[in-house]
Structure formats: structure tokens, C-alpha cells
Amino acid sequence: LRDNRIELVRASWHELSISVSDVSLSDEGQYTCSLFTMPVKTSKAFLTVLGVPEKPQIIGFTSPVMEGERMQLTCKTSGSKPAADIRWFKNDKEVKDAKFSKEEDAIRKTFTVSSTMDFLADRSDDGAVVSCRVDHESLNSTPQIAMQVLEIHYTPLVKIISSNSWPEEGQSIILTCESKGKPVPEPVLWTKDGGELPDPERMVVNGRVLSISFLNKTDNGTYRCEAKNPIGRNSTEYVLIVHDVFNTLLPTTVIPSLTTATVTTNVALTASTTTSATATNIRDPNALAGQTGPDHALIGGIVAVVVFVTLCSIILLGRYLARHKGTYLTNEAKGAEDAPDADTAIINAEGSQVNAEEKKEYFI
């Protein structure tokens, strides 16, 4: 061996040791140790040199990428022997569907390895860290890693948040338009029913916030918030319904059973309050929460039953009286019907009474 990188470490009758510095792939091969005796004795060993892969690189990324575009990222490393292994990760989660390929260098007997990841850009990928990891036995369990931070541009995502879920007349409401996009959206545009805000004095826009004071029924309508950036625009709507204040003071009817009914009425007076001595304030635990106003259907049914029972009673009483009412005539009264006057009727009645053997009564 004639090489300046090879040094004699130890030489004796029993051992001959050498060292090779700055090992290269050309040092791979068969080494022979000879003992010049009669006959000559030899011993052989084969040295295998591993090719350390170069630091990987990610190519194919152009910043920024529009949402919906197809991305192809390729990770490439050279000089590995044997061929290195490449794996992809997105935010520390491994990506399996990648295409792997390798090419062998005929002169150096090393490999160039590459892997391609193909996917559609999505807004959820904005800011994600994509890493390419190269594993090889020469790296002593310390892989080489290349990283790339994704930048995805997308149209704004718009949402309206209301400060009052049940707005009433005289109250105020604040509508906040949340818009998220990349690049950052421009100031939002508020409209009502397709036109400008009708009352700028009460409807104040401050950035993304719309404040409406002293609500009334004319404020009912559809409010639209629109946001845009260089990529595009998006909008969302909020339907505002202003409720009456006196809805909370409507009478409340509670029916605890089929035979009794308790009506509770709340009356707001400006000067004085009169309370009946027989008034009760009993709430049925089975009544629905938030139910207001009398149950007209049930009251009407009760009234109809009472009227029906009354009519039936009158009809039965009339039939009873009619069956006990009539005219009773005896034989003495016979002949009186044809008499022209009262005296003749008496005479006819007396005559018939004399000749009659017995009296009979007839029921007509």
C-alpha cells in the first residue's frame, strides 16, 4: 500500500496494524496480509465503505400558492451507498402517498434518491411545516432533515356575531363581522337589504363593527357584511328582527286540571295597582316555559260544554212539564161545548147529569 493516508500503527513478530484516514469510496475493496515464511501464509478481509447521503433539499415550492392549486414538492439527496430512505411529514404527521425513485452512479457506485409529494393547496395548509427526512445507516440514527413552511393565499372567510340574541325596541345591538383571509382582508362593507345603511346617525360602523342604537321596527331587515382581498371576496348575512317590548307583559293562562282553571293577569298601572282579594298567582309546574297569553281553545271548549248542558236541561224540563199539562172533562161537562151561552151550558150539563147512571173521567 502506497498512500499517504495509510500509516503503520504497530509492527511486531505477532501483529501488523495500519490506519486509513479520510476514508473515501475508493478505499473499498479486499485487503491482504502476508507472512513471508516457507511457504508464505496470507489472510484476507473485504472493506465496505458506506456512502453518506448529502443534506436533502426541497424543490418545486414557489411562494405564495393560491388555494386550490396543485403543489408538487420534491425532496432529493445524493451520494448515499446503499440507497437512502426518504419520508415526508406535515406538521409532524407522516404523509404516506409519495412517489419514490433512485438512480445509481455507475462511476462512484452511489445513489441519488428523490421523493415527490403531490397535493392540492388548502387554506388549512397555510403556515404548515413540511419536512423531508433522510434515514441511512451511515448517519448513526441521526437523520438529515429539510423543512419548508407553506404559504397559502385564500379568499376571506366571513362570519357575523351578534351581541343580542333577542333584540327589543329601544335596545341596542352590536354586529361584529369576523373576516379571515390571506392577504389580510380590506375593511369590510356593511349594507342593509342590498343598499346603504338608512340611518347613519343610529347605525355607526367602526372598522368591522356595526352598532345600532334605539332599535325600532324599521330596523328589521337583512344586513350583509362583505370582505375582500386581492384573491377574491366573500360575504355573509344576518337577519335582524326587532321584537315588541310588551310581549313580556301579555296575560298568562295556566290550566292545572280539567275541572279548574286559574287565570293570572299581570297589569302594569301608572298611578295605582288594584289587586282582587280572590286573585291567585299560581304557576303550573307542567306549563311550558315562556308560554304567555290565554288558552282560548280550552276556554272556548269549556264554554261550549256549559252551553250544551244548559240547553239539554231546558229541553228535558220542557218535556216534563208538557206531559203533566192537559184538560180534564167529565160527563157533566158534555154538551157545554155546543151551548151558545153559559146558562144553556149549565142546563145541558144538569140534564145529562140526571140521566147519567155513573160518572166517568177521560184523560185527553
Domains of the chain: 6-47 (no CATH), 57-150 (2.60.40.10), 155-240 (2.60.40.10)
> In whole angstroms, what is the distance from residue 261 CA to residue 95 CA?
70
Nearest to 87 by CA among 100, 105, 71, 70: 100
Q: What is the pLDDT of residue 250?
A: 47
Q: What is the pLDDT of residue 252?
A: 45
Q: Which helix (H) or strand (E) holds 256?
A: none
Q: The whole model's pTM is what?
A: 0.56
Q: Is residue 228 scored above 70 in pLDDT?
A: yes
Q: Is residue 216 scored above 90 in pLDDT?
A: yes
Q: What is the pLDDT of residue 253?
A: 46
Nearest to 135 by CA among 75, 74, 71, 61: 75
Q: Are 160 and 223 in contact (CB under 8 A)?
A: yes
Q: Is residue 319 scored above 90 in pLDDT?
A: no
Q: What is the pLDDT of residue 257?
A: 39
Question: Grid coordinates in use for 39?
Answer: 511457504
Q: Is residue 194 scored above 50 in pLDDT?
A: yes
Which single residue is written with the C-alpha cell 380590506?
186
Nearest to 56 by CA among 126, 129, 148: 148
Q: In the predicted model, what is the mean pLDDT of the chain? A: 81
Which single residue is written with the C-alpha cell 149549565?
346
Q: What is the pLDDT of residue 190?
A: 96
Tell me which DSSP letter residue 127 carries: T
Q: How confident is the model at residue 12 (pLDDT cuts 50, 70, 90)?
A: confident
CA angle 261, 263, 267 (to 5 degrees): 175
Question: Grid coordinates in use for 240?
Answer: 335582524
Q: How confident is the model at residue 31 (pLDDT cuts 50, 70, 90)?
A: very high
- The CA R_g of the chain, rounded to the nearest whole Å, is 55
Q: Is residue 345 scored above 90 in pLDDT?
A: no
Please compute the mean of the pLDDT values over residues 139-166 and round it to a whole number.
93
The lowest-confidence range among 19-23, 120-124, 263-267 is: 263-267
Amino acid letter, residue 128: A
| Phi, psi of 317, rounded to the nearest 5 degrees | -65, -40
Q: Report the DSSP beta bridge partners of residue 113.
A: 77, 102
Q: Is residue 187 scored above 70 in pLDDT?
A: yes
Q: What is the pLDDT of residue 84?
A: 95
Higher pLDDT, 260 or 138: 138
Q: Is residue 203 scored above 70 in pLDDT?
A: yes
Please compute the mean of the pLDDT values over residues 293-311 and round it to a whole number.
84
Higher pLDDT, 44 or 273: 44
Question: Grid coordinates in use for 306?
Answer: 256549559
Q: What is the pLDDT of residue 245?
A: 86
Parallel/antiparallel/unpaired status of strands 98-104 and 111-120? antiparallel
Q: Report the DSSP beta bridge partners of residue 111.
A: 80, 104
Half-sphere exposure for 198 (CA within 13 Å, toward CB): 10
Q: Is residue 274 scored above 50 in pLDDT?
A: no
Q: What is the pLDDT of residue 1?
A: 79
Q: What is the pLDDT of residue 256?
A: 43
Q: How confident is the model at residue 298 (pLDDT cuts 50, 70, 90)?
A: confident
Half-sphere exposure for 282 (CA within 13 Å, toward CB): 13
> In whole angstroms, what is the distance from residue 223 CA to residue 239 CA?
6
> In whole angstroms, what is the distance from residue 137 CA to residue 187 CA?
56
Rounding to the nearest 10 degrees, give the CA dihedral for residues 133, 137, 140, 142. Answer: 0
Please compute the mean of the pLDDT values over residues 207-224 and round it to a whole number.
95
